[in-house]
Chain A
Amino acid sequence: MQTFDLEAQGLRALNSTLHAQAENTNQTQWEIINPKGSHAIAVGLDAPIEVNVKGSTGYYCAGMNKQATVHVHGSAGPGTAENMMSGTVIVEGDASQYAGATGHGGTLIIKGNASSRCGISMKGIDIIVHGNIGHMSAFMAQSGNIVVCGDAGDALGDSCYEARFFVRGSVKSLGADCIEKEMRPEHIAILEELLERGGCDAKASEFKRYGSARNLYNFDVDNAAAY
């Protein structure tokens, strides 16, 4: 295992070292010590490596991730795993606002709570949160799944497209054009796989499904006066 002391060696050295790891690297295990809330830790990775961050991170940790597994052993700042393409990001603590924003693929697992705007404009990522998520989560979400074992804040899924939201607890309010939907066997199957992947101690039958009412997809002539 490679250990990298972020405080001593610096961020630029860390990220360029991780970027230098190729598809077939032998150095697949990395440990980052002294993260101390620094920004942009392990961003833009594109190799099947595992990076363990021993502490809390600041803005944009594991952004644009491809293939890699980034495991934060602490809490994460705003924009964690933003625009992730593939791979896995795990946060042991809480994640601040817009975690997993615009993510195209991969899995983001948050073991604590996620703050506001979780999964905003997500495009295929799977986000699994053991705790609660904040207001305006999944705003304009296009595809992918969000699983919330706790509660969701205000305006969940406002103006969403074809993303699915599974919430076990309460939803403070639903955003425009987001509705509760029937939980059919295929959704139970999808959710069971997600709960398994996220290591959640929860039963799929306890969740409700939310998604787009698809009323905003097309122009409605009755609304013409509003424009």
Chain B
Amino acid sequence: MCGIVGLFLKDKSLEPQLGNMLTDMLITMTDRGPDSAGIAIYGDETAGNTKLTVQSDTPESDFAKLDSELQKKIAGKVAMRVKDTHAVLDIQADQVAAARAALAEIRPDVRVMSYGETLEIYKEVGLPKKVAERFDVRKMSGSHGIGHTRMATESAVTTMGAHPFNTGADQCLVHNGSLSNHNSLRRKLRRLGVHIETENDTEVGAAYLTWKMQTGSTLGEALQSSLDDLDGFFTFLVGTKDGFGVVRDPIACKPAVMAETDQYVAFGSEYRALVNLPGIEDARVWEPEPATVYFWSHNAAPTAQEKAA
């Protein structure tokens, strides 16, 4: 059991409240999984820059002078915002690979949570309320976001086992369920050169989607093929720069409820998570169908990658 929430805002005036609304939704889902919690927020972007969100168990020493040391190493501009155990490094978009390599060298214990133009991922072990407080999620604004509260079944309760998982630039995945073929799929993906860090089943799901998209699939196609290649139970919520998508396995025993109004599209593992959203009384509320890919995008003319979804 895990709890998932997601909020995609159509009404720009709600954007300053995104973090606050998502936090309330996630806290409501606490009893579906109190092990760890995480949140992915799609916020502001600076043209030509990429955000690298990193985590450390010893932030005082690891983040001390990290920006200036990294700047020296990659010979480019680096701006840093520290939030508890996480830091967001603002770097030039063409220096992502160089920055990751430099990080591994100068701060080997620092882990990359996400990268992208607008995406920031914050996740830690603990209750949603505590995790949201540590990172001041309530104050965050953005166009859309995803949250997850975890009850671990397949692997250890650690920061790296918490969701959301970053699957590519500005892409993330959260999962409710358990994959049963993750060991064989992990071996297969590793043989193909895909980097998978933990023994977590969802990380394999995320790596699978990343690999599919790197080898030519659109997000929609990758989600569609996950229905054939992943064995087990899943309700996935995936975030991209412009929107989010939902897919459930054909058995669909992991719950999912959606609500749509003129102001937003919301996702919750249960209706409880949605009850305090504005205008929920008059929202269209429904359960997403099994084995069906859904997608919402801010982009009026979706890219080919999204259109397929």
Contacts and interface: CB of A to CB of B under 8 A. Distances in A.
A116 B252 contact: yes
B270 interface: yes
Interface string B227-261: 00000000000000000000000111101010000
A78 interface: yes
A77 B271 contact: yes
Contact of B290 (A38, A94, A116): A116
Interface string A109-135: 000000110000000000000000011
Contacts of B270: 37, 58-59, 77
Contact of B287 (A56, A96, A136): A96
A136 B253 CA distance: 11
Instruction: Please classify the interface of chain A as helix (H, G, I), strand (E, B), loop, or mixed, using the class held by over half of its residues.
Output: loop
A23 to B, nearest CB: 34
A56 B271 contact: yes
Interface string A84-113: 000000000110110000000000000000
A59 B31 CA distance: 13
Interface in A24-63: 36-38, 56, 58-59
Contact of B272 (A36, A78, A93, A134): A36
B272 A96 contact: no
A75 interface: yes
Interface in A153-189: none
Main secondary structure of the interface of B (DSSP, over half): loop
Contacts of A59: 270
Contacts of A135: 250, 252, 290
A97 B275 CA distance: 20
B66 to A, nearest CB: 44
A213 B252 CA distance: 27
A36 B290 contact: no
Contacts of B272: 36-38, 58
Contacts of A36: 272, 275
A36 B125 CA distance: 28
A7 B252 CA distance: 30
Contacts of B273: 37
Contacts of A115: 287
A36 to B, nearest CB: 4
Contacts of B257: 96
A94 B287 contact: yes
Contacts of A96: 255, 257, 287
Interface of B: 250-253, 255, 257, 270-275, 285-287, 290
Given A36-B275, A94-B285, 4 more contacts: A56-B285, A75-B285, A96-B287, A135-B252
Q: Which 7 A-B pairs have the closest CB atoms?
A: A37-B272, A37-B271, A36-B275, A56-B271, A115-B287, A37-B275, A58-B272
